[in-house]
Structure 1
Amino acid sequence: MTTATVPASARATATAPASARRPRLRGVAAERVFIGRSLIHSVRDVEALLMAVVLPTMLMLMFTFIFGNAIDPSGGYVDYVVPGIILLCAGFGAAGTAISVSRDMTTGIIDRIRTMPLRSGAVLTGHVVESLVRNLVATAVVIGVALLVGFSPNATPLEWLAVVGVVALYILAITYLFAAIGLAAASPEAASGYGFILLFLPYLSSAFVPVDTMPEWLQWIAENQPITPVIETIRSLLLGTPMGDSAWWAVGWCVLIIVVAAVWGAWLFRRKAGRR
């Protein structure tokens, strides 16, 4: 009786761990997979996209037509409030990222990803890029509605491009922060609650009223939180108001939030997913 001889290479392959036999995708292939997945989910979730547009639009109309005359009898309050509404729109849209990330972590999708030749962390990139695209579209819609109700910016094309850059940077910052919150939360419901707290920050800024009209103890908070310099930068670019050093503070705050949230999120992801 003869015994079949198994080549050494075949024996090595058979005894190698499953992860070693499955080569990882190179380049940004994994990121493309999850970006496509998140965009498809976003297109299918029409209600979430509508709410990200409808809620800020309703707030803008409410402040303009109900409170506007009391705040600014000259009728120019819409010009003042729109920059704040733009960031409020981005906040509402990015808040859904916390829920989506938490849902991925609690429904078993990450466990399935462990069996595939994909970098698990790429799922966060997918959520962030999808949020950026979705929120830029929602912001464009809100600005369009603002123009219909009397918003009259005097920005040049270059200044409009700078506004898009500032808004995109802010969306990236707040989306990374919401993604980290989604990873830290124990459930999608908890992630929604934690994220909702951040949506109050624009109300404690110069979004709706000038900072100098607030109580003295609140003025310090409003002047030294991240939202105010971003709003003042957008307001200056669109309406020609004095910018001062707001742009530097806005970029600095956004970059700091992105770095801190990305590091925090990466640590939480490795801890919960058990994989790099």
Structure 2
Amino acid sequence: MSAAYVVSDCWTMTRRELAHWARQPVQVLVGLVFPVMMLLMFGYLVGGGRSVDGDYVDFLVPGMLTLTMVFGLEGTMTAVTQDLNKGVIDRFRSMPMSDGAVLVGRAAADMLQSTVGLLVMVGVGYAIGWRAHGGLGSTLGALGLLLLLRFAMLWIGIFLALVAGRAELVQAVQILVWPVGFLSNAFASPDSMPGWLGTFVEWNPMSATATAVRELFGNPGGEPGHVWAATVWPLVLLGLFFPLAVRKFGRLGK
């Protein structure tokens, strides 16, 4: 198929997913409110800022922005499995369209929602006193790294949803997201952790993104040289799971 037809198919599937927002506004609202509640809870109730130089809110907000890009995958995973079980995807696969269009449409809609959620979190961060000190270019670069991480995690979620096949199994799979999110430097510096745990946290791809965006924002906890790691890690994950997801989708029913 030509590139124009592939883009047209992907846009059609994206519009289909966006139409669901109007029918499920509560689900969209919960997805936006939950990370805000997490930020306020850790900022005012739980946060201690151990081993953090400077204002803990300035350290916390970039970590929460990173965590937001990792959480919320269950909505996409559930939508994929529901389409599988309802036979919707079988109908799409019988049509003359690109195999990846259905998945790309789902991913594009999720990225739009993730962008809105990211901007909401930035606004809340400013409301509680957080500031980006790195300039406009660095700030846009940090937001780009956050969305790149989200895009990579999204394709991991889509692949796992296709493997799971049933909505009830998604709940078991999504539990794995929590250790990845919390075993990172989103809330505390690895220096405050036991040596073995701090080493694991530092190797977490999410920690690389959190450290890089702190550096670009000019916030405490940032370290030079992490931007490349925050770029390479998501690209490696994307290069692995995107073709796996498309391949798995193409083999459904065979």
The secondary structure found in structure 1 opposite 2:125 is helix
The secondary structure found in structure 1 opposite 2:71 is helix
Q: Which residue of 2 aligns with 1:251?
A: 231
Mean Cα deviation higher: 59-68 or 195-204: 195-204
Contact 2:84 2:165 in 1 (8 A): no
Q: Which amino acid aligns with 1:206?
A: N
Mean Cα deviation higher: 149-158 or 233-242: 233-242
d(CA) in 2 for partners of 1:165, 1:114: 33
Q: Kindly state the Cα deviation for residue 273 of structure 1 after the two structures are TM-superposed.
A: 4.7
Q: Kindly state the Cα deviation for residue 53 of structure 1 after the two structures are TM-superposed.
A: 1.8
Aligned pair partner of 2:143 in 139, 164, 187: 164
Q: 1:254 to 1:74 in 2, by over 3 A?
A: closer
5 Å matches for 1:216-227? Answer: 216-227=195-206
Q: Which residue of 1 aligns with 2:108?
A: 129
5 Å matches for 1:102-141? Answer: 102-141=81-120
5 Å matches for 1:1-276? Answer: 26-68=5-47, 71=50, 76-241=55-220, 242-274=222-254
d(CA) in 1 for partners of 2:97, 2:54: 55
Contact 1:207 1:231 in 2 (8 A): yes
TM-score, normalization: structure 1? 0.84
Contact 2:77 2:170 in 1 (8 A): yes
* Structure 1 segments unaligned to the other structure (5+ residues): 1-24
- Greater RCO between the two (CA within 8 Å, min separation 6)? 2
The secondary structure found in structure 1 opposite 2:28 is helix
d(CA) in 2 for partners of 1:273, 1:100: 18
d(CA) in 2 for partners of 1:131, 1:260: 19
Mean Cα deviation higher: 173-182 or 115-124: 115-124
Q: Which amino acid aligns with 1:264?
A: L
Mean Cα deviation higher: 237-246 or 107-116: 237-246
Q: Kindly state the Cα deviation for residue 239 of structure 1 after the two structures are TM-superposed.
A: 2.1
Contact 1:180 1:268 in 2 (8 A): yes
d(CA) in 1 for partners of 2:53, 2:206: 26
* Structure 2 segments unaligned to the other structure (5+ residues): none
Larger Rg: 1
Q: RMSD of the TM alignment (CA)? A: 2.3
d(CA) in 2 for partners of 1:199, 1:132: 20
Q: Which amino acid aligns with 1:65?
A: Y
Contact 2:50 2:189 in 1 (8 A): no
Q: Kindly state the Cα deviation for residue 271 of structure 1 after the two structures are TM-superposed.
A: 1.8
Q: Kindly state the Cα deviation for residue 27 of structure 1 after the two structures are TM-superposed.
A: 4.1
